[in-house]
Amino acid sequence: MLTYFITAAIGYFFGCFQSSYLLTKAIKKVDIRSLGNGNAGASNTVVSLGWKYGIIVGILDILKAILSLYLIKYCYNEGIILQDNLQLASLLYLNGLFVILGHNYPFYMGFKGGKGTAPLVGMLLAIDFTIAIVCILSIIIVTVVTNYIALGTISLVIVFVIMSIYLDYSAFSIAIAIIIALMSIYKHIPNIKSIKKGKEIGLRKVINK
């Protein structure tokens, strides 16, 4: 039980580094949540401030997940956290989930953060490069074809679940993948509604900003 707690706590701590919020506060003197769709994440940073700021935020959010998961790998391999016969992959999935929860629900921002896409990409890169590449390709292709980042993200989380099952990860890991996917889809419901109404800002318009 202690292993789960330490793994989750480390993940949430790293996830709470909300780069979009901190950067826009420092550089633009504005709360990112007051712009665009009100989300504190890379996609809204792109829409609200342009792709250059969005790329910086996205990279930082990816890196925080990678650092968190590699810390778990180090702690596991060095015996710093109790292993209790748990597979390392299961711990990494759990840690990744809590990085995303910290990103989405940071305590110092009133639990109003982002949608977890960039941290998920970082999580995948740290766990399994094969899953990461397939998922990244899916979000790129669907986003480019449909012109909407939200649809690309939904395809990413669905592919994540499918790949976790296909590569025979544990039931615990697959359950976490499903939780992450459902959370992401729920977070993107407002975007889907905006797309239906023709109000969602498309990728091509953002690039030309």
Residue 17's pLDDT is 95
Residue 25: domain span: 2-207
Neighbours of 183 (CB within 10 A): 18
Residue 188 backbone dihedrals phi, psi, to 5 degrees: -100, 5
**Which residues, given as ranges, of the chain have pLDDT below 50?**
none
The SS3 call for residue 70 is helix
41 contacts 48 by C-beta, under 8 angstroms: no
147, two tokens: 């012109």
Dihedral (Cα; 124, 15, 21, 125), 10-degree rounding: -10
- With tokens 């960039």, the residue in question is 118
103 contacts 95 by C-beta, under 8 angstroms: no
pLDDT tens digits, one per residue of 149-184: 899 999 999 999 999 999 999 999 999 999 999 999
Question: What's the domain count of the chain?
Answer: 1
